[in-house]
Amino acid sequence: MASPAGGAGVERPLLSLKNINMTFGGVRALRDVSFEVRPGEVHCLAGENGCGKSTLIKVITGVYRPQDGAEILYDSETFTHMSPVHAQASGIQVIWQDLALFPEMSVAENIAFQTVLGHRPRLVNHKAMRATAERVLARLGVTLDIDLPLREYAIAQRQIVAIARALVGEAKIVFMDEPTASLTQSETDHLLAIVRNLSAAGVAVVFVSHRLAEVIEISDRITVLRDGRLVGVYPAEGMTQSRITELMTGKTFDQSVRAASHAASPPVLTVEGLTRRGEFEDVSFTVRRGETLGITGLLGAGRTELALTLFGMRRPDRGSVTLDGRPVRFASNREAIAAGVAYLSEDRLSLGLIQPQSIADNLVIASMRRILSGGFIAERKKRDLVAKWIADLGVKIGRQEDAISTLSGGNQQRVAIAKWLATDPKLLILDAPTVGVDVGARAGIFDIVARLAESGLAIILISDEVPEVYFNADRVLHMAQGRIAGEYDPRRTALKDMEAAVYA
């Protein structure tokens, strides 16, 4: 469909797949896909959620067996399929988005525990495990207290631990699934530096990310999948975000500033001198009817802590909050919800949604009073409420009874938004609403945000990705070290100037 990157004299691939087909329940997940990775290169695997990226990785790592006719060449050996044990033993490692680590175990145990697997029962040599962990971390140029429980470390350090664990087995190729989804810009820069070091040492890295700017920055080549088919393989040099988006979706998106003035609209939320010791201090701002206020800043700036305080999850030490002209001081999130405040958590998987439960149950959980009749759930009211929001937000589902985990990341996020819209809020706080969501779904979510604002809803949009707030908010506040460090009007400020201030 497109000409492959590269030309004559290109180094022989470390990994090469041809004629890869996978079908699940009559649905073709992969159709005659080819894919290759060269030794030491950084190769991006790009595509929307559901395009087949994860399925392809699971074929490579032996989780799935492809249909007859598949050809897999790895490290000069030919296979029709691999087993997970063989793939791992041969140096193929995957770092999934959930990392699959053990929070209660020490850093050293998380890194080196696989060295004691597969043996008959014996005492664990903790000294040897610590030595292994220190050796691998030194290779990455990272210093961590290897005796601390992993739970003591933030997500950025856990990501490094997951990479270190992959290197224990002398990895030749490492797949990274959304490694920067929960990282700030500075943490992302550090991780990308580690990726470059791995590449320089001859380890191939396959990078899966919805952050297209870093895809272009870090990759040598980009393979694009769409609807289970190979679109093409392209050199990263000269590639643009808009071009990748077009290749991934088959569509073009208009990225323009949406900011407008709402100075004449009545205030919905007024915050004055709000302070919570150790988290944020002397924060003041106003959000007006129909306005989207963006808040950005690096990790530790106090953005989420501020949001949780406005939602009644934490109590301020001083300052005032006024909602629709009435002073409020919430003792709980229930009081905040009752007053008309809704909060979409940045952690959709563990806090925003209950994965094993149905789409319908997840959507109505915050608005149960609306579907009760005589103290019991009225199933017809529930079905009608769910159907309304599924239709209004364009959520693609099978049945309302299906588990929320069956949906793509973008559709899960739409359900999470619908959950809060069903409470009929006055103020909607969106904390990193596009984490783990692909570029096409992101555009859809921001279209929803724009529609909600046009209907008169006051919105606070929190993101550490400056372009998100720049293009989708009417005003932007920059938080740094718990304080408001600046305010910007996207109509009068260049994106590069705002990014320079935030990332300085």
189 in any annotated domain: no
pLDDT for the residue 4:
43
**Residue 312 class from Cβ within 10 Å (0-12 exposed, 13-18 middle, 19+ buried)?**
buried
Q: What is the pLDDT of residues 288-297, one digit of tens each?
A: 999 999 999 9
Rounded Cα distance, 326 and 313, in Å: 19
User: CA torsion angle for 146, 147, 149, 155 (degrees, to 10)?
Assistant: -20
pLDDT for the residue 384:
94
Task: Work out the average pLDDT over 465-481.
Answer: 94
What phi and psi values does residue 406 have, to the nearest 5 degrees?
-80, -10
Helix locations, 79-142, DSSP H: 84-89, 107-112, 126-140
Contact 292, 449 (CB under 8 A): yes
Which residue reads 């003041």 in tokens? 284
30 and 164 share a domain? no
198 in any annotated domain: no
Q: What's this model's pTM, rounded to 2 decimal places?
A: 0.67
Helix locations, 219-282, DSSP H: 241-249
Domain boundary among 144, 170, 196: 170
Domain tally, the chain:
3
196 in any annotated domain: no
Contact 272, 319 (CB under 8 A): yes
115 and 138 share a domain? yes
Query: What is the CATH classification number for the domain harbouring 376?
Result: 3.40.50.300
434 and 451 share a domain? yes
81 and 160 share a domain? no
289 and 218 share a domain? no
395 and 497 share a domain? yes
27 and 49 share a domain? yes
Rounded Cα distance, 239 and 234, in Å: 8
424 and 465 share a domain? yes
Which residue reads 């559709």 in tokens? 411
Helix locations, 303-458, DSSP H: 303-310, 333-339, 359-364, 379-392, 409-421, 439-454
Give the helix/strand (H/E) hosting 12.
none
194 in any annotated domain: no
Instruction: Between 354 and 315, name the one with better pLDDT.
Output: 315
118 and 140 share a domain? yes
Closest of 233, 231, 246, 239 to residue 214, by C-alpha: 239
460 and 334 share a domain? yes
% of the chain with per-residue pLDDT over 70: 94
60 and 209 share a domain? yes
Q: What is the pLDDT of residues 79-113, one digit of tens each?
A: 888 899 899 889 999 988 778 889 999 999 999 88
150 and 239 share a domain? no
Domain boundary among 196, 223, 249: 249
134 in any annotated domain: yes
User: Residue 487's CB: how many other CB atoms inside 10 A?
Assistant: 12
5 in any annotated domain: no
Domain that holds residue 161: 99-170
